[in-house]
Structure 1
């Protein structure tokens, strides 16, 4: 009888130990969230890096496990998504609009897997297991355009774009609008690099702009912008960064940055997922009103306070709808008709 009781006690203890062990292991593991970079790479000091910093913040503050897969070419998107799926991630992000097709196919083939994509939306066709995250990039671009027009001494500024499309159009036309709103006489030189990672080309384009009389150049071109900033250093001119505060790349030359806090938006979605509220099938749009875009904190190193005060007023007017910032050619033409004499 004693042996029987002892056996039952041992069995009960073993079951309890296993249950606690399994529960503890699951809690320790937490959510696994990963991202596939665009070709610019995770250390592009711009778009991809901002995204990765957002997941690192989520790892630190929300207790998730973050990881990424590097894409060196567009052909890497699909195998990288497969690799992260096989690794058992709860949420997989595609960074950039160029991953639109790859994310859509992956989501269709794996309906139980959650995906997110930045800078792209499928609109009404968004799968239920995908969340699309957009940013009003035209808004901070307008603000740095205003700064550029107020600070130029030559009456010429430049814009260097990566690859033409809806996403970069927002930076382009927002910047143009900000320049013209500040001073309609300022000329804007514009050129696209047809790349997001050719820094040498960015450097050549920017140097040509500086030699043509521009003294401030804004880039929205990922890794191409590294070359733009390097050109500003070599020529003793000014550059305006993008996506994250890029002043650390050239403290004497980067006067501001049009920040698109990609990582903040991703962090918010991860937090929603952790709370059981994944917004699948939706497109979330972040702007000035959400604190997701704006000018860099280091702008006060080079931009006069009176201009920063004016920028603060412009921010509020944009938030209140008094100024509608354009995001493509058609809305830009409307903006000129409505706001510029």
Structure 2
């Protein structure tokens, strides 16, 4: 009997040691993202940020959740919800959330944060990495293309909320158009919203009445109204942030893309791999592919995906192909030359987000 008890004790001890040596199952990295006004479906930077986390989920095995505040006043509650639940990384989208995210970051010094579209300067908290883009460079190419395509010598820019960030787009577009044609008229108006397509359409129709035949927007969901007006009045538009070339087929001649998806994927990867270093304001430019103008000659994957999932049909795809061949392909080489001149410093694009608009344009 004593031998049996001894054997049981030994077995129990071995099992305890064995189980103690097996590490607990590692929990997947958890990321929470608070989207900007307009939420998912904006075909712009919210959707792009979301795609970045979908990629991280597929390739890295992270888990993520998102919140779509209906108003900026809800941002703080959303950020704190993720922080209180111990998420490994919390991302805030859009410059309107920057002050709130900074405030919350101080209350949770051990939580890692990232923010899209706000440079926090030298005093950036140690637990924030900001993801910024040289919109003025990409928008210069959009302005140059607009001026090259325009027959009326009038082009338009529709901004969301008048702010330093959105002035980066405005300034780049204005300078690019003037680079091609110093005498071109560049109309510039703001919708005071990133989620009001009706207002975007109204502004665009007013510009069209004034002679604009190419309109660029940096207005989030409001921009869908610009596309609608372009289709109704048979003029051209230029998309922003994501590849929007399949919207109103044949009327969106290009998009100025910000690779928000890549930036979001990379910051999630850094947290997942333990290489995250806070206290940084990062910038992505034409040179590193952080901003770009979509191809003026080729049909790119987002358009093919839209065709595959039924968003556009065969005739729409053919219309886009014809538009590229007839409208934008002739200017592809010129736009690429301008791009290289910006990269090598031969063309210096002023960042209106820092300098403000020239006094004569106020």
TM over 0.5: yes
Where does residue 88 of structure 2 map in the other structure? 90
Q: Residue 19 of structure 1: CA displacement?
A: 4.9
Where does residue 235 of structure 1 map in the other structure? 233
How far apart are the structure 1 equivalents of 2:261 and 2:161? 22
Which string of whole-angstrom CA distances, capped at 9 and with x for unpartnered residues, describes residues 42-95 of structure 1?
A: 221111111111111111122211221111101110110121123321010110
Which string of whole-angstrom CA distances, capped at 9 and with x for unpartnered residues, describes residues 171-211 of structure 1?
A: 00100111011111221111111111111100100011112
Q: Quick one: structure 1 residues 2 and 35, their matched pair in 2 at CA, closer, same or farther if it must change by over 3 Å? A: same
Which string of whole-angstrom CA distances, capped at 9 and with x for unpartnered residues, describes residues 88-108 of structure 1?
A: 210101101111111111111
Q: Is the 8 A contact 1:245 1:298 kept in 2?
A: no
Q: Is the 8 A contact 1:256 1:299 kept in 2?
A: no
Q: Is the 8 A contact 2:164 2:356 kept in 1?
A: no
How far apart are the structure 1 equivalents of 2:290 and 2:82? 27
Which string of whole-angstrom CA distances, capped at 9 and with x for unpartnered residues, describes residues 118-171 of structure 1?
A: 111221211111111110001110111111100011111110011111111110
Note the 1:299-310 alignment, pairs <5 A: 300=298, 301=321, 302=324, 303-310=327-334
Q: Is the 8 A contact 1:255 1:299 kept in 2?
A: no
Where does residue 198 of structure 2 map in the other structure? 200
1:320 and 2:344 are equivalent in the alignment: yes
Where does residue 144 of structure 1 map in the other structure? 142
SS state of the match for residue 194, structure 1?
A: coil
SS state of the match for residue 287, structure 2?
A: helix
Note the 1:8-27 alignment, pairs <5 A: 8-17=10-19, 19-20=21-22, 22-23=23-24, 25-26=25-26
Q: Quick one: structure 1 residues 333 and 197, their matched pair in 2 at CA, closer, same or farther if it must change by over 3 Å? A: same
When the two chains are superposed, the root-mean-square deviation of aligned CA atoms in Å is 2.0
SS state of the match for residue 89, structure 1?
A: coil
1:161 and 2:185 are equivalent in the alignment: no
How far apart are the structure 1 equivalents of 2:178 and 2:236? 19
SS state of the match for residue 94, structure 1?
A: strand
SS state of the match for residue 41, structure 2?
A: coil
SS state of the match for residue 246, structure 2?
A: helix
Equivalent residue in structure 2 for 1:33, among 31, 34, 38: 31
Where does residue 78 of structure 1 map in the other structure? 76
Note the 1:1-341 alignment, pairs <5 A: 1-17=3-19, 19-20=21-22, 22-23=23-24, 25-26=25-26, 29-297=27-295, 300=298, 301=321, 302=324, 303-328=327-352, 330=355
Where does residue 303 of structure 2 map in the other structure? none
How far apart are the structure 2 equivalents of 1:137 and 1:292? 9
Structure 2 unmatched ranges of 5 or more: 299-320
Q: Is the 8 A contact 1:258 1:296 kept in 2?
A: yes
Q: Is the 8 A contact 1:77 1:102 kept in 2?
A: yes
How far apart are the structure 2 equivalents of 1:11 and 1:80? 48
Q: Quick one: structure 1 residues 299 and 48, their matched pair in 2 at CA, closer, same or farther if it must change by over 3 Å? A: farther
How far apart are the structure 2 equivalents of 1:298 and 1:112? 46
SS state of the match for residue 90, structure 2?
A: strand
Q: Residue 5 of structure 1: CA displacement?
A: 2.5
SS state of the match for residue 184, structure 1?
A: coil
Where does residue 339 of structure 1 map in the other structure? none
Q: Quick one: structure 1 residues 191 and 226, their matched pair in 2 at CA, closer, same or farther if it must change by over 3 Å? A: same
- TM-score (normalised: structure 2): 0.86
Which string of whole-angstrom CA distances, capped at 9 and with x for unpartnered residues, describes residues 215-236 of structure 1?
A: 1110000111011111111111
Structure 1 unmatched ranges of 5 or more: 335-341
